[in-house]
Structure formats: C-alpha cells, structure tokens
Amino acid sequence: MLLPILALLAGLILLVWSADQFVNGAAATARNLGMSPMLIGLTIVSFGTSAPEILVSVMAASTGAGSLAVGNALGSNIANIAMVLGITALIAPLPVKSGVLRKEMPLLLAITLLAGALLFNLSLGLLDSVILLLALIVSLYLFGRFQRNADPGDAIAEDEDEIPEMSSGKATLLLLVGLTVLAGSSRLLVWGATEIALSLGVSELIIGLTIVAIGTSLPELAASVASALKKQHDIAIGNVVGSNIFNLVAVMAVPGLFGTVEFDSIVIWRDYAVMLALTVLLLLFALWQRPPSVSRYEGGILATLYAGYLVLLYNMAI
C-alpha cells in the first residue's frame, strides 16, 4: 500500500501548489486583458479556490468513483466550517461582515437545503446536476449584485490585493502549468485514495469525506490562518461561505454529468445532516453576537465537533 499512500500525498501537495499557480496566472491574465478586479474576483478567483475539489470530482466521476466525488463535496463543506473556521477562530475571533450575514450566509443555507432535496432520493443524476449548475448561474448573478451594492472602494481594493502583477507571458505560462498539474495531481490523488480504500476495506465515500476533503480544504485553512495572523481575519468567513456555495453547486454537480451516482441513506442522515447542522450553527453563532462574530469559544466548539465527526466516521468504518 506504500505506492498509493505516496501517490495520495504527492497528489495533495501538487494539488495545493498548482491551484495557487492557476489562480494567480488566470487572474493576472484576465487583468492584462482588461477585466475589472471585481469581475475577476467573482469568477476566476472564486472558481480557483474550488478548483481542487472540482478537478478531483471530475477525475473521480470519470473513473467510476462517483461516491468519492459526492463525499469530497460534503466533506469539504464540513471541514471548511468546523475545521477551517474552528481553528482560525481559536487564533483570533472572526468578525462577520453585515453583508455576509444578510446575503451570502442565507444563500449558503438555501443552496444547502436545495442540495439536500436533490440528494434525498439517494441518487445524483443528470437532472440533479443541471439543477445545481443552474443554481451556480443564479449564485454568480447574486454575487454580482451583492458586490455592486457593497462599498465599491472596499470591494475593489480587496480584489486587487488578490491579483498579482506579472507580464502576460508569465501569467499565461503559470495558467497553463497550473491547469496541467491540477489535472495530473487530481488524477494521482483519486487513484491513490481509491487504492487505499480498497486495501483498507472502507468505502470510497469515507475516503472522500476524510482524507480527500481535508486535503482539498488545506488551501482555505492556510489562507484563513494567514489572514488571522495578519489581523485580516474579517475575510475568513466570507471566503469559506463562498467556497461552500461553489462546492455544492459546482463540485457536487460534476458526478451526475458522467452518470447516475447511487449511495446509501447514511449519506443523508449522517454526512448531509452534519453539514446542514454546522451551516445553521455558524449562522446562529454570527447572529447572537453584537457585533456579529465567531468567538474563540465558538471556534473551540466547531473544532471539537469536527473531531467528534471524524471519530464517528472511524467507528462506523471499522
């Protein structure tokens, strides 16, 4: 089992690195072509943060491991809220911008409920994927409206900070290299994860919910912790909320495009239920504080819940 483990680790490392290069190259290329910072932030940067999950889902679905792709989407959302925000809030309390609380967080809850309705029949098919992709289009439209109604100076400044300065040639090279390594590393990761699941006798779903989900959430964790250490922790929740929306409407839409994926009822009453509960809990944490925020105490609750969820998965897998 040594080779699959090495493939999994190499895939995760290359996935994180290539996603960062892809976002930088794509954003710089778009700016050099005249796209506005706000539009780049809404499209390329937002897509790029979910690129690892999307590419993993494509590779998993195309190789018949659709349940791993579904587990990756649900597990990434669980990890983003409980692990990423939990650990980040332990470092520094996380303020919640009023716009995120009134707009993006309710949108995430609505998308989460929509995903649950589509998964309720224990399958994910072409029609379900089309509905999710339509929800993606609606979400992008709403993000655009949210940005236009926000403080223009703040929105543009934040987006410009995320776009590196580089020549068109270097930006294009980074874009192509990042995309190529993304595709290769995601294929390597899926192969390693599938082989490990077969060797250990556990389901691909469990591997997707744990190892793959944590691995593809590492960029969000690194970015959120770095932001907290730089005293810029007010953007952490907004980034996670946006990433979770993309995971549900873009990442989870992928498997159904390749064929109907069927799964056990445990996905609904365990994994989806945990994701929904954490989404509601995050909203409640933000609502009952003035000004809205997630405190260190609440971050500890989230991190503890994630540890408990991993223990539950382990006990049910053996």
Mean pLDDT score across all residues of the chain: 84
CA angle 258, 261, 263 (to 5 degrees): 165
pLDDT given for residue 155 in this prediction: 46
How confident is the model over 141-170, as a mean pLDDT? 66
Q: Residue 55 has what pLDDT? A: 79
Torsion of CA 209, 11, 41, 126, to 10 degrees: -50
Q: Can you tell me the distance from the alpha carbon of 222 to that of 235, in angstroms, rounded to the nearest whole number? A: 13
pLDDT band at 228 (very low <50, low <70, confident <90, very high): confident
pLDDT at 158: 47
95 vs 227: CA distance, rounded Å = 12
Average pLDDT of span 221-240 = 72
- The answer to whether the CB of 237 falls within 8 A of the CB of 100 is yes
Q: What is the pLDDT of residue 130?
A: 97
Q: What pLDDT score was predicted for residue 11?
A: 85
pLDDT above 50: residue 87? yes
pLDDT value of residue 218: 76
Which pLDDT does position 154 carry in this prediction?
44
pLDDT at 210 over 60: yes
Looking at mean pLDDT, say which of 24-28, 255-259, 280-284 comes out highest: 280-284
What's the CA gap between 118 and 273, in Å, rounded? 14
Per-residue model confidence as pLDDT tens digits over 48-81: 667 777 878 888 888 887 888 899 899 999 999 9
Q: What is the pLDDT of residue 157?
A: 42
Beta partners for residue 95, in sequence order = 293
Can you read off the two tokens belonging to residue 302?
């989230």
Which of 3.40.50.300, 1.20.1420.30, 1.10.3720.10, 3.30.230.10 is the CATH number of 2-317?
Answer: 1.20.1420.30
What is the band of 153 on the pLDDT scale with cuts at 50, 70, 90? very low
In angstroms, the CA 59 to CA 184 distance is: 9
3-state secondary structure of 92: coil
pLDDT at residue 125 greater than cutoff 80: yes
pLDDT per residue as tens digits for the range 160-193: 555 667 888 888 898 888 878 877 887 888 888 8
Confidence of residue 307 (pLDDT cuts 50, 70, 90): very high
Instruction: Identify which of 3-7, 19-23, 41-45 has the greatest average pLDDT.
Output: 3-7
Which has more confidence, 282 or 314? 282
* pTM, rounded to two decimals: 0.82
